Amino acid sequence: MGDPADSRPATRGASGRPSAARERILTAADRLFYREGIRAVGVERVIAEAQVTRVTFYRHFPAKDDLIATYLAVRSQREREALAEVRAALPGDHGGVLRAIVDALIAESRSPGFRGCPYVNAAAEYADPDHPVRHAVAEHRAWFTGQMAELMTELGHPDPDLAAEQMMMLRDGAMTAAYLDDRERIAAALVAAGRAVVGYREE
Amino acid sequence: MGDPADSRPATRGASGRPSAARERILTAADRLFYREGIRAVGVERVIAEAQVTRVTFYRHFPAKDDLIATYLAVRSQREREALAEVRAALPGDHGGVLRAIVDALIAESRSPGFRGCPYVNAAAEYADPDHPVRHAVAEHRAWFTGQMAELMTELGHPDPDLAAEQMMMLRDGAMTAAYLDDRERIAAALVAAGRAVVGYREE
DNA sequence: GAACAGGTAGAAGGAACGTTCTATCTGCTA
DNA sequence: TAGCAGATAGAACGTTCCTTCTACCTGTTC
């Protein structure tokens, strides 16, 4: 079991350099999976858009499912880093952090090509709760709900868990509305609903 | 262009009888499309589950897209009829109607095999806004939002359209949470958020 | 009993799917 | 300069997809 010639490269090659081909694959997959849906996009499309060969593709991602899992993991990682940055920039200002989250959500919802929450969309396509996709989705949602509950606690909300769930509902609902209804009108509704739920008042 | 032998039967045969085969196809499609996703289910599966032959299938639905459109149309029709019945049963009691809607949503969310909103899920799979699926989704959502706005007006809400959008967000968010998070805990969050948003008070 | 709508059975089309293969090249690093 | 990781090119595998075909049977209705 020495495996002297496992031909699969990791995130960064044995040399320590990150693989440019792998990055291109992930960039293409992110674009295509999010914009068109996961099942609607074949590996052929990803390979063409990333300008790699089939062999290179399968060396980095032994199966399409591996690419899908990585696609979701990368998105989650980006979101975690963004929130960490916001928290670092506004130490102690929990209300400011919450407002920044809402603002970011609204801005994202207005951006061209917005197609709703990538996790919710992915879960719609994968019904088996044991599929890696669903695990990635559950993990991300648990993280975000936890962050929300933490924020609610810090804001002194009497029932942080309940408030966190309500904020989650508003988040999911706002993203759905921005995708499927008039995306220009969600901002006011989201902000008003958020205030009603949290009991949060601006000065 | 006389078309003397258009071999496609309609909802009910020329004899006036509804087609049993067609009903079986729609029942199977409803189950499979909702539970597993539309792209994940091939016509082969539907044909097998409905116990019809390929020819019979394609006589009723010339293409898979036609079946998908009908699947969504039937669901929408059922929902419209259900709401009409509730309104007829509670004439003038707008608060009661609203509560009945919320109760039905909670009950549905708790039912086994619940997998979120079929329209949101379908839209996740079909990214092209001109696809028949998206038209069906948009139509259903416009209808439901309109019903909500009407209800809010009747309840004397100062901004019925805004409230309707907020209720829509809560509806979508609650269904998403019931599918992806802990479905036993959504009821309290939904009811509390709904009250906060609508300003609705029970005696 | 002729006509016909609606059904049965199973084979087969072409395209797209995810995946594997052989064979060759490039550019570090040792 | 030898070696090796990582990339290249392109053909090909078997499956599944949606769809079409030929040929025959059944029950009602005029």
In terms of pLDDT, which residue wins out, B90 or B9? B90
Minimum Cα–Cα distance from B143: chain A residue: A181
- Residues of B at the A interface (Cβ-Cβ below 8 Å)? 35-37, 39-40, 115-116, 119-121, 123-127, 137-138, 141, 145, 162, 165-166, 168-174, 176-177, 179-181, 185-186, 188-190, 192-193, 196-197
Counting one residue from A and one from B, how many pairs have CB atoms under 8 Å apart?
137
The mean per-residue pLDDT over the stretch A33-60 comes to: 95
B interface mutation test: which of A180, A200, A201 has the most B CBs within 10 A?
Answer: A180
Chain A residues close to B146, C-beta within 8 Å: none
Q: Is the pLDDT of residue A6 over 90?
A: no
pLDDT tens-place string over residues B51-65 = 999 999 999 999 999
Token output for A4: 């002297």
Look at A180 and B127 and tell me if their CB atoms are within 8 Å.
no
- Identify the pLDDT of residue B54: 94
When the pLDDT of each residue in chain A is averaged and rounded to a whole number, the result is 89
The tens digit of pLDDT for each residue in A147-203 reads 999 999 999 999 999 999 999 999 999 999 999 998 888 999 999 888 888 775 443
Name B151's Cβ contacts closer than 8 Å, sequence gap at least 6.
B94, B97, B98, B164
How many other C-beta atoms are found inside a 10 Å radius of the C-beta of residue A196? 19
Q: Is the CB of B25 under 7 A from strand C?
A: no
Following CA atoms A73, A79, A82, A88 in sequence, which dihedral angle do they give, to the nearest 10 degrees?
A: -90
Backbone angles phi, psi at B29, to 5 degrees: -60, -40
B window 51-110: Cβ near strand C (< 7 A): 51-56, 59-60
B140-186: pLDDT as tens digits: 999 999 999 999 999 999 999 999 999 999 999 999 999 999 888 89
Three-state secondary structure call for residue B156:
coil
Instruction: Give the pLDDT of residue A197.
Output: 81
